[in-house]
Every structure is written in C-alpha cells, then in structure tokens.
Amino acid sequence: MITVKRGMESRYIAYDYLRSFERINAIIAASDNSFEELDHIPPRDKLTFTNGFYVNCSALFVDIRGSSELPNQHRRPKLAKLYRAYLSEVVAIMCGNPQCAEISIIGDCVAGILDTRTKPHIDCVFSTAAQITSLIDVLNCKFELRRISPITVGIGMSWGRALMIKAGFSGSTINDVVWMGDVVNEASKLCSYGNKDYGDMTMMVSNDFYFNLCDDYKNMLSPNYKRHCYHGNVANVAMSNWYEENCK
C-alpha cells in the first residue's frame, strides 16, 4: 500500500501504553458510515481522526531515475543544488495547477493529488506533466554549465478513487492528510516505469487516465504493451522553444 504524506516534525511526549490501547479501540470501533463517498476532494478541515472520504482524483508522480548513484558523482554542495533546483521547480509547476490539492516530497519523488472533477481537469494534469518534462531539459542545460550531472525522470499519471483520511497522533501537532488506494499505487508504479528500460518513454499514463483525455492529447501517446499503459515524450511548447533558443 502506497501512501502520500508530508514529513512531520516530532516533539517529545512520553508514551503511555494504556492511553495508546484506548486510542486503538476508538479508531477501530469508529462507524463505517463515517467514510463518505464523494466525486470531489473536500476541504482539509472537514477531516477528523474518526472520519474519511472516498474521492475521485488524479495522482501525478515524478521521480529521478538512478538517484542512488548521484551521491557517488557529486560532493554535497553540488548534490544539494541539484535536488533543491529539481524539487523547487517541480513543486512550483504542480502548484501552478489550480486543481492540485496536495503535494508531497518523498525522497526525490514529488507526488501530487489533483481534484479532477471533469475531463478538462484531467487534460490540465497532462499539461502539467508536459511542463515537467520540459523543465528537466532546462535543468540539465543549466546543470551542464555548473558541471552537475544531468538527470532523467519518470512521470506517472493515474485517475480513480482514493481514500482520504487524517492520520497521526491525536492530541499532538503530528498529523496530516494521507491518501490511499489504487489511483495512488498505480501512479507510483507507472512513475517507476518512466525511462526505465529501452522503449519506455518519460510519461506513463494509466488506461483510465488515457480514456478521459481529449483526442489531441491521446494522439500524443502510444500503447506500452509491456507496462499495460500508454506512454509518450510530450513537452510544453513555450518551454521547449526557450530551450531550443538558449541551450542548443
């Protein structure tokens, strides 16, 4: 099971096993009716430690290929610059999508959950992924000038149902929204396939996501029979034009 979450700063609270057992009882005794079915993502403040929502959404994952080798290629200052530039601007692109409800950083993976109530919203997720593809080209151009190794990423996109809950330690400041379900698992898996082997393109798209795209975007993708999805190398026109004019 894949979950999407942010890091949470810890503060010391002595562990009381009796109160812990009481919390466990309260959690597992909660009514099943507390988990409402919705076709959209509700505001975060609607969540408590005893309820949850099943929602329609899209998941967008971006991950660096071969990131475990990067510490062997660079000293720490260059490595920090690489990760900061990559993470900063991938997050910035996701934030630029008005449907983006949550963004998480898990190692070198950036994961977004998007409130895609309509097909045009799903098209917008695809456009966001194209911007990220073009961003990587520009980053590598700028990295080369600083003798920083280029990076390759995989991008995974999926659409479906997810369980949205508030999780953490009730009574502390340690809590956050957690997303679980096939849509998250599928986007994460597809992301891991992007640029993995010969014949795998950067963007990997689930079947349900693909069938909700407009025809123009569908035509930019082709079947990947090995991964049981659709894939493509799709870029943002304006960003690619800048790259061609400034980095070639």
- Tens-place pLDDT, residues 122-180: 999 999 999 999 999 999 999 988 888 889 999 999 999 999 998 877 666 667 889 99
- Token pair listed for 23: 């919390």
Is the pLDDT reported for residue 71 higher than 70?
no
**Number of neighbours of residue 169 by Cβ within 10 angstroms:** 15
Q: Is residue 1 very low, low, confident or very high in pLDDT (cuts 50, 70, 90)? A: very low
> Across all residues in the chain, what is the average pLDDT?
89
Token duo for residue 238 = 């304006």
3-class SS letters over 118-179: CHHHHHHHHHHHHHHHHHHHHHHHHHHHCCCCCCCEEEEEEEEEEEEEEEECCCCCCEEEEE
Q: What is the distance between the alpha carbons of residues 7 and 43, in angstroms, rounded to a whole number?
A: 20
- At 19, list the tokens: 């109160």
Return left, alpha or beta for 199; rule: phi > 0 is left, psi -120 to 50 is alpha, else beta: left
Torsion of CA 133, 135, 137, 141, to 10 degrees: -170
Query: Which domains are seen in the chain, by residue range?
Result: 36-242 (3.30.70.1230)
Apex 174 CA angle, 169 and 175, nearest 5: 75
pLDDT of residue 174: 63
Would you say residue 69 has pLDDT above 70?
Answer: yes
Q: What is the DSSP letter of 41?
A: P
Average pLDDT estimate for 1-25:
69
Q: Residue 33 above 90 pLDDT?
A: no
> What is the pTM for the complete model shown?
0.90
- pLDDT tens, residue by residue, 37-57: 999 999 988 998 888 999 999
Give the pLDDT confidence of 167-217 residue by residue, as tens digits: 877 666 667 889 999 999 999 999 999 999 999 999 999 999 999 999 999
The radius of gyration of the chain's CA atoms, rounded to the nearest angstrom, is 20
Share of the chain above pLDDT 70, in %: 90
CB 188 within 8 A of CB 155: no
Q: Are strands 52-64 and 109-114 parallel, antiparallel or unpaired?
A: antiparallel
The candidate with the shortest Cα–Cα distance to 64, out of 142, 3, 132, 131, is: 132
